[in-house]
C-alpha cells in the first residue's frame, strides 16, 4: 500500500512539474523538455525519480475542461505532465477532451469505466462533478487542477495556483512602466 501511495504522490508531483515546465517552456512545443538557464530536462527529472516504479497495470485518466490538449491552457499542461509521467514511470494513460460543460459527469464516468488508479480533472468547473465522483469511487485517487473544495475526501487533492503572486508582479511591472503615474 505504501508503494501505491508513493506512486500516487509522485505522479501528482510530476503532473504539477509538467504544468510548471510547460508554462515556462518555449513556444516550440517542447515546453516540458526544453532547457534554458536553471531548467531541468524531463530526462534529468526522470533520472532523479528512477527508484519510483509504478505497478505494471497502473493507469491514469485525464478529463480536460472545455478545450483540447494542445490549447495552451491547464488542459495542455496537465496532458503534458501526464505524458511525462507515462514516459518516466511506464504508466498507461488515456484522456478525454471535453466539448461541453454538460459532458463533465459523462466524461468522468467514461474515464472510470477504464478502471484507472488516478483520475485528473482540469478546471474549476469540474470541481463539483469531481467531488461527487471521488466520494462515490473511494478506491480511485483524484487530482483536481485549479479546483478548491471546502473539505476534500482522503482520495482527492486540489492543485491550486497562487494567482495573486502573478497579479502582484504584473501590477508592479505596470506601475514601473507607466508614464502617467496611473495604472
Task: Enumerate the domain spans of the chain.
Answer: 2-177
> Of 38, 54, 55, 56, nearest to 46 (Cα)?
54
113-130: per-residue pLDDT in tens?
999 999 999 999 999 999
DSSP notation for 46-62 = HHHTTT----TT-EEEE
- Could you tell me which residue, 156 or 16, shows the higher pLDDT? 156
pLDDT at 34 over 70: no
What dotted CATH number matches 2-177? 3.40.50.2300
Amino acid at each position: 500500500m505504501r508503494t501505491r501511495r508513493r506512486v500516487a504522490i509522485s505522479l501528482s508531483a510530476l503532473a504539477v512539474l509538467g504544468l510548471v515546465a510547460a508554462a515556462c517552456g518555449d513556444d516550440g512545443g517542447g515546453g516540458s523538455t526544453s532547457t534554458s538557464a536553471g531548467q531541468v530536462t524531463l530526462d534529468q527529472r526522470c533520472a532523479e525519480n528512477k527508484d519510483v516504479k509504478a505497478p505494471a497495470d497502473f493507469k491514469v485518466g485525464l478529463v480536460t475542461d472545455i478545450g483540447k490538449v494542445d490549447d495552451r491552457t491547464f488542459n495542455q499542461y496537465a496532458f503534458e505532465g501526464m505524458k511525462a509521467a507515462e514516459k518516466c514511470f511506464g504508466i498507461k494513460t488515456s484522456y478525454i477532451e471535453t466539448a461541453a460543460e454538460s459532458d463533465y459527469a459523462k466524461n468522468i464516468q467514461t474515464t472510470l469505466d477504464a478502471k484507472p488508479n488516478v483520475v485528473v480533472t482540469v478546471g474549476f468547473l469540474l470541481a463539483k462533478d469531481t467531488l461527487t465522483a471521488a466520494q462515490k469511487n473511494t478506491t480511485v485517487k483524484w487530482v483536481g487542477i485549479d479546483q478548491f473544495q471546502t473539505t476534500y475526501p482522503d482520495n482527492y487533492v486540489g492543485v491550486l495556483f497562487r494567482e495573486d503572486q502573478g497579479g502582484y508582479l504584473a501590477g508592479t511591472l505596470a506601475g514601473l512602466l507607466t508614464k502617467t503615474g496611473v495604472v
